[in-house]
Amino acid sequence: MSVAFEEVRLSLPHIEVAAHLYGPQDGRPVIALHGWLDNAASFSRLAPRLPGLRIVALDLPGHGHSAHRPLGAGYNIWDYVLDVLQVAEQFGWQRFSLLGHSMGAIVAVLLAGALPQRVERLALIDGVIPYTGEADEAPQRLGAALDALLAIDDKRKPVYATFERAVAARMKGVGAVSREAAERLAERGLMPVPGGYTWRTDARLMLPSPLRLTRAHALAFVAQVTCPTTLVLAEQGLMTEPQLRELTAQLPFDKHYLPGGHHLHLDDDAGAAAVAACFEPFFR
């Protein structure tokens, strides 16, 4: 399928981000948010299958062609909420919808719960709430994060001698993907360096979180979502643990269980078509 999009860079008040634009300028405004360590290419199969939408598929800060956060700043999950809001402001969108995969789905739920008046619809793929932690774990978690941050200068991102080796490594990464999906992510996510290729992603994205929301915190955001919401769950995805299945069964969202892995919307055309079949009438 031929994919037509426009590459743009947006100068937000606090950071510069890159994005792919799909669809007509007067289409329903949608901001698409990818998963952890992915990039805007995550939606390269799905976005063209959603006609009538003006989709802004972001490279979230620290990913793809977007800038890294300045030294001293972190990548807490809630920090992305401001990035998304500032993108909406750039386009003059007071009301908009969100399309999120994995981490991007979590960011979408946080934003829709915090500012429900801004979000028209939520379309989520294999993600709802972040990994949570309870109060008694907080001191140890912060300590581990601080130690890791002090040691970050001693770590180097891996360098792959060839593009193909980088693709093979991505296929086996978190949320394993098909070769075609890995190639799409790598084409946008790799950069040449002495000795081969490495990922553009900020190395700080691999650091442990200094603080996690409690389960009660996370569910409070879900409870404040007032817009129509549909959730696609991958039968071989990352939300198959019994506790997560129990959680999702209780969510007040429309749910669709589809065959495929965590990146079912990107792995192949059949998966993208199946996800689009859920979302196209939802947005229409």
Split into its structural domains, the chain has a count of 1
What is the CATH number for 29? 3.40.50.1820
Residue 24 lies in a domain: yes
Distance CA 275, CA 235 (A): 13
Neighbours of 196 (CB within 10 A): 15
* Residue 172, domain member (yes or no): no
- Owner of token pair 């972190």: 74
Residue 22 lies in a domain: yes
Give the separation between CA 101 and CA 58, rounded to whole angstroms: 12
**Residue numbers of the domain that contains 235:** 6-132+213-283
The count of residues in the chain is 284
**Does residue 228 contact residue 121 with C-beta atoms inside 8 Å?**
yes
pLDDT along the chain (284 residues), means of 10: 81 97 97 97 98 98 97 93 98 98 98 98 96 94 94 84 96 88 97 96 94 95 97 94 88 95 97 98 95
The whole-number pLDDT of residue 174 equals 75
Q: What is the pLDDT of residue 176?
A: 86
Confirm whether pTM is higher than 0.85.
yes
Residue 191 three-state SS: strand
Q: What is each CA distance from 30 to 47, 120, 276, in whole angstroms?
A: 10, 9, 14
Distance CA 123, CA 109 (A): 10
Q: Residue 20 falls within a domain, yes or no?
A: yes
Note whether residue 11 is domain-resident: yes
**97 within some domain:** yes
Confirm whether 205 is domain-assigned. Answer: no
Task: Give residue 1's pLDDT.
Answer: 46
- Report if residue 160 sits inside a domain: no
First to last CA, the chain: 22
Sort strands 53-59 and 16-22 into parallel, antiparallel or unpaired: antiparallel
Nearest partner of 113 among 217, 259, 36, 236, judged by Cα: 217
Beta-ladder partners of 19: 8, 58
Tokens 């130690």, residue located: 147
